[in-house]
Structure 1
Amino acid sequence: MIPEHKIQEVLERVDLVGLVSRYVELKKAGREFKGRCPFHQEKTPSFYVVPEKRFYFCHGCRASGDAVSFVQRYLGKTFIDAVRDLAREVGVDLEAAQDPGARERQQIKEATDLAAEHFRALLWEEEGRSARAYLASRGISDETARAFGLGWAPAAWTSLADRLTKAGMVEWGLNAGLVSKRNKGDGYFDFFRSRLIIPIRAPEGRPIAFGARLVDAEEGPKYLNSRESRLYNKSETLFGMDQARDEIRRRKAAVLVEGYFDCIALHQEGVKHTVALCSTALTPGHLKLLGRAEARELFLLLDGDQAGLAAVERLAGPLLAAGAAAKVALLPQGDDPDTFIRREGSAGLERLLTEARPLTNHVFLTLLPQGKEASFEEKMSALERLKPVSAQLPVGLVRSAFFAALSAWCGLPAAELEASLRSKAPPPPVKPVPKPGQPPARGAAPQGPAAPRPAPVKPPDALETLYVAAVLREPRLVVRDTFRVCDELSHPGLRLVLAHATSGHGAEDALFEAHDTIKRAVDAASRQLAEQQGSALEHYFLQLCRAIMLRRINQQLDYIKRTTSQTSGALDLSEETKQLLAQRIELLSLKKRVEEEIRPSPPGTKAPMQPV
């Protein structure tokens, strides 16, 4: 991905008049330059270049944009290639702007993509017969297996290594943890062998790692997972989030399980707001991820055995520390979510969720069932087990509320309960700042120059974000854009997303590397478009294109009005003013044509916001 600030630097350095003049004969017209449009046949010049604002526009065919879009249109380049060509020409080093770590991340992405496709294809070939039989034994349908992108890693030692080597990616596969170097001699061997492969995906849908279940073999652990990489951080990843995100948003709740197959089984039975941990720990990163998906309530659905009860205690600390609204759904003794839902179905599970009890109630009831009536020894034992939970609570309201609830349950004074465990409370982190000339403390990392803060990314325009969200949902819509809005988006981040979505990478991958500001904006726009489907979405998209076009025309009309408002009479008109007034007539004619193309929205279709 090219950094947005570098795209902006390229646009600022390019001499737009000089660039366009290579292909169009331009003549000075006041503050602008005028010529015959290179994008359509015309006798009277209606194509203008405005160097002050770094854009061009044509009153005849409605083409407009900046230097990058001109190169795209005239030379048939992609957005990325146009930026690179112009960057070389004006001396902007795009390679230097890219972090070497980002390059490694891109390489790992490509190797992981290849591996996911390799595993997926093998599952449905003859080699994957035993894996398909295993899936059938667990009640997983072919449709569900395809939806989750399940795959098969055969027993052969170099199946994937050979494929990566042929593609020139074997070193990338090594960094991704997909292959390992041989202990003796040259070459590589596969990390996953004789295993059913479960892709772990980012919320946008791209595979970033793999879980693998041993099938038809006896050597090795039952489950094997990808190691962490520049692409995969298990403390910030939840399995199934790509499939569950929309349902979580609709229900404002999420179900949390511990196993991949628990998650897959619940989705198959219609409980589609289920996600699974990729590790044993629940982290602030996981809670942040759920928060972005608008989960206001979290249901813990863990195994109905001693390990499941212990898991609730383990997860209670970070949940209570975050002030999360969490509930515990109790499974029958010996059940796990997979076996329960196969036996009871989604209705049984929904009943279980309805009966779920708040996390604190569950913890207190589990550790001290008799409450105030418990013996001294039972209370001390319960408090000892609560130490790991209370140790994670920050000093403040959350901690005070926890001890108040505990006091009400066990009948001991809250102040004394807190005092007895106060030593376990995590102190607020304090980072010592050395004085000028003072050496860093022993064991501290050496102080280098402070890393420059990245420039903040401004939020994109609302109408343009809706345009991109619609194309991400239905990439075919871009060919219906007769106004070529795609070439004229004002936000570099949106243009990068659109370039990836329409270049064969897939809409689900387009947001993968986008800045969080862009992700949040496009995500909100996608929710706004949720009700638009099929022809209704297409009509809405056309309305968006026209609304954006009308807004640009109105902006040009406003500029002409401001510029010519000081003219006292017809005899005082300068050549520049005459040109502007002529443009005004053309713009009004164009505006009328655009407005006539707008059709009333069909019943049940919301029109996009009106241009301003």
Structure 2
Amino acid sequence: MPDDDLKERIRAAVDIVTVIGERIPLKKAGRNFVARCPFHQEKTPSFNVNPERQIYHCFGCGAGGDVFSFLMEHDKVSFPEALRTLAAKAGIALPDRQSARARTNEQARDIYYRANALAREYFIAALNDPARGEAARRYLERRGLTKETIATFGLGFAPDAWDGFMAYARPKGLSYEVLANAGLLVQNEQGRFYDRFRGRVMFPVVNDSGRTVAFGARTLDPAGEPKYLNSSESPVYQKGRILYGLYHARDAIRQENSVLIVEGYMDVLQLMQAGVRNVVATCGTALTREHGAILRRYADRIILLFDGDEAGIRAALRAGDVLLEAGIEGHVALLPGGEDPDTLVAAEGPEALRSIAERGMPYLQFRWETLARQNNLATISGRNRAISDMLDVIARVDDEMLRGMMASQVAQWGVTDETLVQRAIARRRRQTARREQEAAPPQKRWAQPHREKQLVAWMMDRPGVCQQVAEMGVERFSDPLLQEIATSLIRLKDLGELPSAAALLDENREDSRWAGAVAELAQMHCDEREIGRAVTQLVASLQLPYLKRQIDTLRARLRVEKGIRETIEITTEIQRLGREMEILNDLLHSGEN
């Protein structure tokens, strides 16, 4: 495990608002930032990022922590991986050492990387086999891919056999269960394993480190279904967070400050081969908000480059709505009728495609013009339908400023009063929030007595309060989690360290409930002018029920006790505890005056 000084250097060098803002859209709200929580479904933002304390907390589901916690939860990585990511971002070199636990976590993921690397090796060998790979090579040649492109992107071929890859993998030391979890094998109802990919051209999908995590597979059978088959999700592959081609395209995307999103693997390869390198595609899934957030790290301009037919327009509308919800107004560029990216580039050259992309229409305008073709805007009912459709989408945008500007634009296009448009959007947002609140299952939140939480919150960064709680005894807290947190804060104080939220988070990195509780406590309001008296009264208020329980226990013993000596001892102890309660009650009542 890295030493505390190194963790603090990294924590101090990166801004949690910047890191989280690269992954989800944040909106300034007073001194903090808010967003819709990425860890549970919601429409009304309850996710709060505190730049002063460098922590986040969701008031809806209770998730919380620091910048390390966020990366671990959002990016699904281990603490060492989060540490390396943030160290690289901060330009801080890490020492070459790992704990046994960190090595174990990495080895658990590494086995899936090994499985996919082995499959890639097998598929490439099959493609290059003179006999087995002939049909696949002919297909790739017909599609115009060069040997260099095929080699650069690691294209391969899965022979049409039920156990071809299984036989290849059997002596390599990887179990069938691991290969199935990696999405390379399938297990039937009888428990038998077989190859997932058969008779298909293989497109390796790599992560941002260039490691193979999944495959897309195109059938060679004209009647084969499905046409494309994709890897299932695995411990190293979440399809909603990976874009095909991004590893090879990211430098060009940064350089041009724009990215083209196309519809498939082959479009990416053909455009890159033609010199249009700022291009990506999703991996057989719909575009997600996470995809949009990833691309926004690299470029300001995101262009949806789809076919100009009805299917392409519908796809552009779906993708554009998702980007809009993420606070991103993309652009839409439609190819001329009957043209694919490769045919257009082959006929007119890459500059023709770049020209179409540059003339791409802002998505909001594209959406309005599409609705204008579907509705007669010369009629009140047609214009009302178009406006209503636009407002349904705009109401899902969290960024208030962006939402307001879009509402103003729609009011202008629809020739209607902007105030009415704003009211209609606000009404939609209220209705959506109410429906979600009614339909949502109760969140498993950490809800304990407020005064107990307040006292533990005041222990953070305050050794004096920690000492008062230590003298009181942590057993006075009714919640076991609060007892654990208070005990850790007291231990930090006794070690001469600052009992801070950051130190608490470092103590228990793998427990998301611990991180959420610490983040919630760290954000509780504290008036330093009143804290001295308030802490004393809180301690007293927690002592009283504890003393009462002790007295009740002693009285129960007294009812069954027969010995005179024991009776006197119990009675004396009850009287002593009673006097303590009187003193504490006087203290509490004096604070109310």
**Residue from 165, 172, 193 that aligns with 2:198:** 193
User: Contact 1:371–1:409 (CA<8 Å) still a contact in 2?
Assistant: no
**Residue from 210, 226, 238 that aligns with 1:221:** 226
Amino acid at match of 1:296: D
TM-score (norm 1): 0.54
Q: Which residue of 1 aligns with 2:184?
A: 178
Q: Which residue of 2 aligns with 1:377?
A: 381
Q: Which residue of 1 aligns with 2:275?
A: 270
Amino acid at match of 2:213: I
1:62-73 correspondence to structure 2 within 5 Å: none
Identity of aligned residues (%): 33
Q: Which residue of 1 aligns with 2:357?
A: 353
Amino acid at match of 1:363: R
User: Contact 1:212–1:224 (CA<8 Å) still a contact in 2?
Assistant: yes
Amino acid at match of 1:114: L
Ranges in structure 2 where 5+ consecutive residues have no aligned partner = 8-93, 438-442, 451-478, 486-500, 507-593
Report the Cα offset of residue 336 of structure 1.
2.9
Q: Which residue of 2 aligns with 1:206?
A: 211
Structure 1 pair 315/422, CA: closer, same or farther in 2 (3 Å)?
farther
CA deviations 1:497-516 (Å, max 9, x no partner) are xxxxxxxxxxxxxxxxxxxx
User: Contact 1:320–1:398 (CA<8 Å) still a contact in 2?
Assistant: no
Find the aligned partners of 1:122 and 1:207 in 2 and give their Cα distance.
Answer: 17
Report the Cα offset of residue 449 of structure 1.
5.5
Say whether residues 1:134 and 2:139 are aligned partners. Answer: yes
Report the Cα offset of residue 307 of structure 1.
1.2
Find the aligned partners of 1:340 and 1:456 in 2 and give their Cα distance.
Answer: 58
User: Contact 1:236–1:286 (CA<8 Å) still a contact in 2?
Assistant: yes
Q: Which residue of 2 aligns with 1:417?
A: 421
SS of the aligned residue for 2:214 comes to strand
The higher relative CO (CA closer than 8 Å, separation ≥ 6) is in: 2
SS of the aligned residue for 2:295 comes to helix
Q: Which residue of 2 aligns with 1:235?
A: 240
Ranges in structure 1 where 5+ consecutive residues have no aligned partner = 10-79, 85-93, 439-446, 459-612
User: Contact 1:313–1:389 (CA<8 Å) still a contact in 2?
Assistant: no
User: Contact 1:256–1:300 (CA<8 Å) still a contact in 2?
Assistant: yes
Amino acid at match of 1:236: R
Report the Cα offset of residue 334 of structure 1.
2.9
**Residue from 298, 305, 311 that aligns with 1:301:** 305
Q: Which residue of 1 aligns with 2:400?
A: 396
Find the aligned partners of 2:245 and 2:143 in 1 and give their Cα distance.
Answer: 18
Find the aligned partners of 2:215 and 2:504 in 1 and give their Cα distance.
Answer: 34
Find the aligned partners of 2:302 and 2:504 in 1 and give their Cα distance.
Answer: 32
Amino acid at match of 2:154: G
CA deviations 1:431-478 (Å, max 9, x no partner) are 78553269xxxxxxxx996999988999xxxxxxxxxxxxxxxxxxxx
**Residue from 257, 261, 264 that aligns with 1:256:** 261
**Residue from 118, 121, 132 that aligns with 2:122:** 118
SS of the aligned residue for 2:173 comes to coil
**Residue from 317, 322, 345 that aligns with 1:318:** 322
SS of the aligned residue for 2:157 comes to strand
1:466-485 correspondence to structure 2 within 5 Å: none
SS of the aligned residue for 1:281 comes to coil
Amino acid at match of 1:414: E
The structure carrying a bigger helix percent of its residues is 2
User: Contact 1:244–1:272 (CA<8 Å) still a contact in 2?
Assistant: yes
CA deviations 1:401-431 (Å, max 9, x no partner) are 1111101111122232343344543649997
Find the aligned partners of 1:7 and 1:131 in 2 and give their Cα distance.
Answer: 55
| RMSD of aligned Cα (Å) | 3.5
User: Contact 1:235–1:279 (CA<8 Å) still a contact in 2?
Assistant: no
Find the aligned partners of 1:437 and 1:368 in 2 and give their Cα distance.
Answer: 56
Find the aligned partners of 1:315 and 1:133 in 2 and give their Cα distance.
Answer: 33
Report the Cα offset of residue 230 of structure 1.
1.2
Structure 1 pair 311/216, CA: closer, same or farther in 2 (3 Å)?
closer
- Of 374-383 and 301-310, deviating more is 374-383
Report the Cα offset of residue 251 of structure 1.
0.7
Q: Which residue of 2 aligns with 1:443?
A: none
User: Contact 2:230–2:284 (CA<8 Å) still a contact in 1?
Assistant: no
User: Contact 1:372–1:411 (CA<8 Å) still a contact in 2?
Assistant: no
Q: Which residue of 1 aligns with 2:536?
A: none
Find the aligned partners of 1:284 and 1:341 in 2 and give their Cα distance.
Answer: 30
Q: Which residue of 2 aligns with 1:35?
A: none
